[in-house]
Amino acid sequence: MTAFVGTTGRLALNSLYAVARVCVLVVDTLQWAFVAPLRGKGLRVRSTIEQFVEIGVNSLPIVLLITFLIGAIMAMQSSYQLARFGATRYIANLVGVAALRELAPLMTAILITGRSGSAITAEIGTMKVAEEIDALEVMGLNPTKFLVVPKFLAMMMAVPCVTVLAMLSMIIGGFALTTVVIGLDASMYIEQTAGALVPKDLVTGMVKSVFFALTISWVGVYRGFQVEGGAEGVGKRTTSSVVTSIFLIIIVDLIFTVLFYFV
């Protein structure tokens, strides 16, 4: 019993401590991303653009391919149900709404976590192990400004941009399968899609994608700075970065889905 209380207490304290650390990190990042540049302390624009290309542009092939395929799979699965009611034209509604509100933002976030969330943790962790972070500090260069802010800003821009394209790709995937395999009329599919989607669907997806981007960057950075020891420390934290990030993305997704259901 006392052991149980002790373990629970320690767990609670540790979580509290982690939350406090993340808060410090968040405040520090926001400070260096938005307040410091106004005071003329500069922003690392080139590094931010490089990161944007790495996170956003370079992830496009895989994200677009996977969302296209998922669009097709979704069309096939819904056709299986809808055909029984002779309502195959509603495949377009189902694919369109699910893509915008849910699946395109979620798939994009999960894929970018795997590609770039892990890379952020590994890079920062490796730099920490090799004393490179210390070297930055000794040189009078702030690691947050130097390392974190470019990644953070790039992530905040890249994830929503990629998400929009992923939505499109998913709808095209559904369209391709429905017209080619199921043999529905192409113009009817387009009409049906246009009729089904409302601006709120897009807003829902975009709001989610912004919060997914926040989650991916902060989890990645936080886990990176947690690395201790050597190469095995980097591996361990990189794994836990991906796991934590995907878990939190699902939680955030749930919260916003419930929220948007009521508003």
Partner 1 sequence: MNENATSEPIIQVRDLEVSYGDFKVLKGVSFDVMRGETFVILGGSGCGKSTLLRNLVGLMRPAAGRILINGQDFTAMSDNDRMEIRKRMGMCFQGSALFGSMTVGDNVALPLREHTKLEESTIDIMTKIKLELVGLGGFEGFMPSELSGGMKKRAGLARAMAMDPKMIFYDEPSAGLDPIVAAGLDMLIRKMQSTFNLTSIVVTHEMSSVELIADRVCFLKNGEVVAIGTREEIAASGHPFVQQFMARRPEDEGSDREDYLRSLTGA
Binding site for partner 1 (CB under 8 A): 123, 126-127, 130-132, 134-135, 137-141
Q: Which is nearer to partner 1, 141 or 251 (CB)?
A: 141
CB 50 within 8 A of CB 148: no
Q: Which is nearer to partner 1, 123 or 253 (CB)?
A: 123
CB 51 within 8 A of CB 154: yes
40 is written with which tokens? 């003329």
**Least distance from partner 1 to the Cβ atom of residue 132, Å:** 5
**Least distance from partner 1 to the Cβ atom of residue 60, Å:** 23
Report the alpha-carbon distance of residue 234 to residue 226 in Å, rounded. Answer: 9
CB 227 within 8 A of CB 234: yes
**Least distance from partner 1 to the Cβ atom of residue 200, Å:** 43
CB 25 within 8 A of CB 152: no
Q: Which is nearer to partner 1, 102 or 132 (CB)?
A: 132
Q: Which is nearer to partner 1, 138 or 263 (CB)?
A: 138
**Least distance from partner 1 to the Cβ atom of residue 38, Å:** 17
**Least distance from partner 1 to the Cβ atom of residue 42, Å:** 9
Side-chain half-sphere of 134: how many Cα atoms within 13 Å? 5
Dihedral sign of CA atoms 242, 164, 56, 219 in order: negative
CB 143 within 8 A of CB 133: yes
The closest alpha carbon to 76, from 213, 184, 236, belongs to 184
CB 209 within 8 A of CB 160: yes
**Least distance from partner 1 to the Cβ atom of residue 130, Å:** 6
Burial class (CB in 10 A: 0-12, 13-18, 19+), 84: exposed
Q: Which is nearer to partner 1, 100 or 148 (CB)?
A: 148
**Least distance from partner 1 to the Cβ atom of residue 112, Å:** 20
Report the alpha-carbon distance of residue 229 to residue 125 in Å, rounded. Answer: 10
The closest alpha carbon to 208, from 152, 253, 260, 158, belongs to 253
